[in-house]
Every structure is written in C-alpha cells, then in structure tokens.
Amino acid sequence: MKSTLLFTALLVLGCAFSAFGAETKKPNILIFLCDDTGWGEFGFQGAKDIPTPNIDSIAKNGIRFTQGYVSGPYCSPTRAGLMTGRYQTRFGHEFNSAAAQDRGLSLAETTMPSRFKEIGYQTCAIGKWHLGIAPQFRPMARGFDEFYGTLANTPFLKPNQFVDSRISPEIQPPAGSDFYTTDAYAERAVDWLEKSKDRPWLLYVPFNAQHAPLEAPKKYMDRFPDISEEKRRTFSAMMSAMDDAVGRILGKVRDLKQEENTLIWFLSDNGGPTQSTTSRNGPLRGFKATTWEGGVRIPFCVQWKGRLPAGVTYENPVIQLDILPTSLAAAGVKADPAWKLDGIDILPHLTGENKGRPHETLYWRFGEQMAIRHGDLKLVKANLGGPTAGLYDLSADIGESKDLAASMPDKVTELKALWDKWNAEQAPASAPKEPGQARKKNGQGKKKANRQQQ
C-alpha cells in the first residue's frame, strides 16, 4: 500500500514538473552544507538525542536520500566536486587546499555560481569556503557576488581567515566580541535574502559546524545539561546552533513567500571524524578520510514544495555532483555535454518520470585509498582495511562487514577494471599526500582508528 501511494505521488508530481517546463519563473537555489557530520546525527536520520527540527523539516517537506554520497571523504575535495559537478580528481583536487598561492580550486574549472550568473542569478556564499586562500581562488573571484565567512577551517568564536566582502576583499577579524560563526552566518543570510528578493538567487551556506575545534556559546551549552561528557555536550550545542541557523534562513524564505519557488538542499561534506568530535556514523563502517561508507555516505535531503514529493525516501544512489546539473535543470538550463559533468539532472528520477538508477557506477580515489560502487556491489581499499580490496554487497551489508572477494573473484576483477579505466582519466593529485596527516590532525592515530572502524 505504501509503495502504491508513493508511486501515485511521484506520478502526479512528475506531471506537475513536466508542466513546469513551460513556466518562465526561475527558482531560487539554497544549499546548506554542514561539516564533518556523521550519518546518524540528525532526526531525519533517526537520531533522538539532539533535536534538529528545522533541518529535519527539509526531509519532512521533501525527499531523504538513503544512499546519498559525496565524491571525497574530506572537506575541500567534496566542495570542489560540489562547485563544479565533476569528480575533483579529474583536475587534481584530491586533498585539502594548502595555503600556498598556487593551491586552490583549479582556475580552469567553471564554478556553480558562474554558471548561475550567466542566466541572471544573484549569487552569495556564506560560511567556510576551503577552496583556496589566495585572492584568485576566493569566492568573489570564482563567481560569487558576495562572500561572508572564512577561507579555511577556523575557530568558531574568534575565526581567522575571515572575509566580509561588503567591507573589504581582504582578510580581517570580524566585528563584535560575542561573534559566533554559526549565528553570524544566519544573520547575514537573512539580510542578504531581504536585499535579493526581487531577482532569482543562489545562496550557498557551508557551515563550519560540526568541524573541530568544538566551540559553542553558553546559551547553546545550557540546552544540554544532562550530557556529562564535555565533548559530546559541546558537539550537541553546536548542532543545535546550526539547526537554529537553518531555521532562521528557512523562516526568511517563507516570510518572503518564496518557499515554493526555492529548491533547497541539505547535506554533509563527508562522514564524521568520530573520535575527535563524537560524531556518529553507525551503522556504517569507517569515518572521515576513509573510502568506507562511513567516510562517503552522508545525510542528504532535498525540498522543493509543490514540485517534489514530500516526506518520502529515495533509495537509489545519488551524489553531491548531481546538485549542480539538477539545480540548473530546475532553472531551465540543460547541462552542455562540452562541460563534461559527472553529475546528472536527477529531477526526472525524483518525480518518477525516470524509474532507473541515476548512477550505475560511482568512483572514489583518495591517495592510496580507492572505492567503486557498481550496482549494489562495492569494491573498496581503505585505510586500515589491509593491503587488498574487499568486496561488499551494500544491499544486504551497509556496514561492510562481510567481505565477498574470495567467493566472487570475477566481480572483483570486473569492478577493478572499471575503476582502473576511470582512474586513467583522472589527473595526478596537485596537493601533498595528506591522508596520514589528516588522521593525525583529527586525533585519529592508527590504533585509535582501528577501534573506530569496528
């Protein structure tokens, strides 16, 4: 009965979306990206201990992806893929951008805001950029009309690498002694939405929550008096602050009577670094900086009232690379094959017009780690997983606990050949080898990481 109702809802909405093609009003695009947030942290993912009603409302009013992925298990690579719609390994952006003047999102790549500016959109980024610090890599040089936030990961209370493009394109400390990034981002977003209400807009809000260092004002800490472990309490306070910020921004969209004309995305940039922040990836194996599911399968949902079904789940694999072509399609622009995007327009899949899988195959490369998902089978060689790749059936084993490689050698050969062909098309990494450094920075030495993957 449930499947029948879902099919009927998708069919009706599919017809409605087909009719939308004849309309001319371009939808607004709102993208929330949270940082280092595990698979099991939000209410819409089944969590009970940290209320996130505003974030959950996006899934409630839209679609929750049960198999939503990012193209990298680390902060900057995921952002590079999101901003281009292409596997970041195609242009060498495999690890986090260094502070060097020549390190950042390749200047040969066309970014999401640039594509939207070409069709008349106002564009704004508010939050953590992490795609280059030098002036030529900053948001204002990559298609955003306005930027308010940090160029890299920084503390929440006294951020460095901070830029407010309304004041200056240069780095300078934010004003105010009680500054907190998450609150400030919501305030600026609300202000920008008011100023931008008369033309279609693209607003990208990449929070630095829930990344370390864990910091939260007392007003948020006071919401969790019963959590005795200080690290988890601070993490919870940060999550609550982020939910408030999302609520303020969504509330402004509603106040402007733009909700039904706004396509809203919410996702995390990678899995959580469990030990350093208490983030929870279970029942997935692995964590940030690994190609296990716990590193690349993330909380992910989308809302477009009246255009997409509400309160349903979508079971086929999707990836953050799809956000750019899907958002452009919503605006009436079909991706040009010359752009060589790896993401696709998934709107027909979400409305029921196309009942096939958006992606038969997904790929990952992160240093010496690799993974390929082909159908429901995943071949993965990840940190701490041993020298050989394991094979897992994700339809029955999302925890990647039952290695089928020995019993299915032909499939191992098939998937490895597919990955090798894809890998030959990728560029060499343009940053220093970083996976080991990343684990050290996150407090995840080898012994500790071994415990986490269980």
> What is the spatial distance between Cα 427 and Cα 95, in angstroms, rounded to a whole number?
13
pLDDT at 19: 42
How far is 195 from 193, CA to CA, in rounded Å?
A: 5
Q: Both tokens of residue 1?
A: 């009965």
Q: Are residues 228 and 345 in the same domain?
A: yes
Report the C-alpha gap between 339 and 405 in whole angstroms.
Answer: 37
CATH number for the domain spanning 224: value is: 3.40.720.10
Strands 312-314 and 122-128: unpaired
Counting as low any pLDDT under 50, the low residues of the chain are 1-9, 11-12, 15-23, 432-454
pLDDT of residue 439: 39
What are 318's strand-pairing partners? 68
Q: Are residues 414 and 326 in the same domain?
A: no
Beginning with the edge strand found earlier in the chain, give each strand of the sheet holding 201-206 in spatial order: 162-164, 146-150, 122-128, 201-206, 28-34, 262-268, 300-303, 63-65, 312-314
**Are residues 102 and 126 located together in one domain of the fold?**
yes
Determine the pLDDT at residue 446.
39
- Tens of pLDDT, residues 132-179: 999 999 999 999 999 999 999 999 999 999 999 999 999 999 988 899
**Could you tell me if 266 and 413 lie in one domain?**
no
* Coil, helix or strand at residue 366: strand
Same domain, 267 and 200: yes
Q: 218 with 294, same domain?
A: yes
Q: What is the pLDDT of residue 430?
A: 61
Q: Are residues 426 and 374 in the same domain?
A: yes
Single residue among 323, 351, 379 that ends a domain in this structure: 351
Please indicate, yes or no, whether residues 255 and 169 belong to a single structural domain of this protein: yes
CA distance 57 to 264: 11
- Number of structural domains, the chain? 2
Do 335 and 372 reside in the same domain of the chain?
no
Residue 356 in domain: no
Q: What is the CATH number of the domain that holds 373?
A: 3.30.1120.10
Residues 293 and 436 in one domain: no
- Which pTM value belongs to this model? 0.91
Tokens coding 89: 């390994």
Domain of 427, in residue numbers: 361-452
Domain assignment present for residue 179? The answer is yes
Q: What is the pLDDT of residue 14?
A: 52
Task: At 204, list the tokens.
Answer: 């990208």
pLDDT for position 385: 66
Please give the backbone phi and psi of residue 234, each rounded to the nearest 5 degrees, phi first: -65, -40
Mark whether 38 and 126 lie in a shared domain: yes
In this structure, the answer to whether residues 188 and 313 fall within a common structural domain is yes
For residues 279 and 267, give the distance between their C-alpha atoms in angstroms, rounded to a whole number: 15
Of 351, 385, 403, the residue that ends a domain is 351
Residue ending a domain, among 351, 376, 398, is: 351
DSSP code of 9? H
